[in-house]
Structure 1
Amino acid sequence: MRVFITGATGFAGSHLVDHLLAGGHHVLALVHEATSHQGLPAHERVQPVTGDLLDPDRLAAAVAAARPDWIFHLAGQAYPARSWDDPALTLAVNAGGTANLLRAAVAFGRPRVVVVTSAEIYGPLSPADMPLTEATPARPRHPYGVSKLAAGELGRVYWARYGLPVVEARPFNHIGPRQAPGFVVPDFASQLAAISLGRAEPVMRVGNLEPERDFTDVRDVAAAYVRLAEAGRPGEGYLICSGRSVSVRHLLETLIELAGVRVDVQTDSARVNPSDTPCLYGSYAKLEADTGWRPEIPLRQSLADALADWQERLQTD
């Protein structure tokens, strides 16, 4: 297949590229120089395409030139907290950029499209709401969640009006190698990597360790995206998750064990974010029923690989 990807140089996007190459596909990756932070692999079946989601004419030309069989749309403003700094830009990139891409896909010839949104479209929830499913009402609590909800709805609109076969992927937290700082696992892993290499004092500064969340390995998430392109039902949304909750404390304790170091864990008030949802996890039953996907990589392996990734980064700095 010829596959057009936005966000191919991001965390999940880079693993998606690896997965597609292993499957023998040809990858055409939309690259936006201002935001790309992972390099594309040097491979004969990978072709970078320069473009911008907010430039509809240039984007349409890129899609037409790529002649894709599949489109994966991962690019966007990816940080919920940052969406409060510039809500209009978050909406423009995540919702407006999706609209521009779907319009380009209709003009090209209606390839299958997987639009990646987020489980952040859900708002305040109680234990009685668990596990989340695709039928759980969406009540986003920040501009990022609103932008992703709009992106998913646009996919359904384009399927209904134009017959564009759009499937929405709605991932929960995903972890593993290559993740940028600013998320719980890379923040812990980077500190422990520095301690294990003797580059930092054996002190871990952490926030709230009690919340429980749903974590899936990024490589399993990439595999789910491909399964949705192959077998997902157009106009439908699918949760991508592990189906269980894990406490932040468990993540930290496992990473400390894997690093083989003794540390003093200290609470840093600057890192403490109040949580109105102590436990959050989803069900992947619909995704499994329609595509056969199940998470395969154990949590401990995901954490070990994330730690090894940070140790390698620090050793090569």
Structure 2
Amino acid sequence: MRRILVTGAAGFVGRHAVAALAERFAGTATVVGIGRGSFGSLPEGADYRQLDLLDQASLATFVAAFRPTDILHLAALSSVQQAGDLPTETWRANLVGLLNLAEAAMEIASPPNLFFVSSGEVYGRAFLSGAPLSEETEPQPVGSYPLSKRLGEQMLRDVLAKSDAKLIVLRPFNHIGPGQDERFVVASFAGQIARIEAGSRPPWIEVGNLSASRDFLDIDDVVGAYLGLIAQVDALESGAVFNICSGLPRTIESVLADLRAMARVPFEVRIAPDRMRPSEIAVAAGDAGRLTAATGWRPAAVWSETLSRVLADARARAAEPGRP
């Protein structure tokens, strides 16, 4: 039996990952998630424990008892905007917690496969080329979040070098889906639209820079990529890096237009100065050819259906009593 540990399990991606792992490996693996928040209703075949990666002693005790064969490390402060506002907290969560996890993993008799979820954001200024980037591109991160992820990759290569633990680095690009926080652009648009429809806010939405193009994926496609790599880990070389992306950038303006076409009421669009973020990256897209070659993975979600799910989730939240 495999023993799969998911960190950050109570977060947006973690909830989807725990459910998908429990279904994919039903009867062949034990799936346990850990995180700081509460999980709520657990999917069949999964368990959850409240545990902070910064609590080194408790983490080490748990890992020693569970003895994971595979770790999917999702725990991070993942909003670029929030990371920029809280750099100290970002470095503590994204590097200290990661180091604690790596140390705990190396202490067990059979060190696990460690799937480190980094980010496509690590490429940073390399995106100025305008072309979809492969894993061969040298990262040029800018900002607390991308820097912490890039240094996390490098730190793991160093501390795990003399360990039998296998390291796989994952670089997902922008992903969206039900349950995402409104600090992220598509969830923000959907949330504002849903509240306009519910009559709880005036008929306009506030936006930032609409001209940038980004590489978006459905959360189910991203989690599907994680599962495919976990399933085939024996065939992967330690230290391998995989982009998870569509290769098809969309302008933020076009995403808003697609959501607008699904809205039940008309609304205005207003530029909000506090939502404008200084950015010299006009286009950010990736090349997932290595992942496709390794596992056969390709994005499968239909874009309109992805947005429909996001908007339906936002409408459900807007209808909750007492929700602003």
- TM band (smaller chain): over 0.9
| CA–CA distance in structure 2, aligned partners of residues 143 and 201 of structure 1 | 35
| CA–CA distance in structure 2, aligned partners of residues 129 and 180 of structure 1 | 28
| CA–CA distance in structure 1, aligned partners of residues 126 and 140 of structure 2 | 9
Q: Which residue of 2 aligns with 1:227?
A: 228
- Mapped pair 1:261 → 2:265: yes
Structure 2 residue identity aligned to 1:66: F
Pick the aligned partner of 2:285 from 278, 281, 286. Answer: 281
For normalisation by structure 2, the TM-score amounts to 0.91
**Residue 49 of structure 1: how far off its partner (Å):** 2.1
Q: Percent identity?
A: 35
**Structure 1: which 5+ residue stretches go unaligned?**
none
**What RMSD in Å do the two structures reach over aligned CA positions?**
1.7
| CA–CA distance in structure 2, aligned partners of residues 280 and 103 of structure 1 | 34
Deviations 1:17-44, CA, capped at 9 Å, x for gaps = 1111221143211121xxx2x6243345
Runs of 4+ in 1 over 6 A off after TM superposition: none
**Change in 2 beyond 3 A, CA 1:277/1:157:** same
Q: Which residue of 2 aligns with 1:205?
A: 206
**Residue 87 of structure 1: how far off its partner (Å):** 2.7
**Residue 79 of structure 1: how far off its partner (Å):** 2.1
**Structure 2: which 5+ residue stretches go unaligned?**
none
Structure 1 residue identity aligned to 2:113: R
Maintained 8 Å contact 1:118/1:145: yes
| CA–CA distance in structure 2, aligned partners of residues 306 and 95 of structure 1 | 31
Greater shift in the superposed pair: 213-222 or 227-236: 227-236
Maintained 8 Å contact 2:126/2:137: no
| CA–CA distance in structure 1, aligned partners of residues 231 and 159 of structure 2 | 19
SS state at 1:238 partner? strand
**Residue correspondences, number:** 313
Q: Which residue of 1 aligns with 2:298?
A: 294
**Change in 2 beyond 3 A, CA 1:44/1:126:** closer
**Change in 2 beyond 3 A, CA 1:240/1:261:** same
- Mapped pair 1:30 → 2:31: no
Alignment of 1:121-200 (within 5 A): 121-125=122-126, 128-200=129-201
**Residue 195 of structure 1: how far off its partner (Å):** 1.7
For normalisation by structure 1, the TM-score amounts to 0.93
Deviations 1:36-87, CA, capped at 9 Å, x for gaps = 2x62433452222232212222111111222222111100111223334443
| CA–CA distance in structure 2, aligned partners of residues 239 and 213 of structure 1 | 14
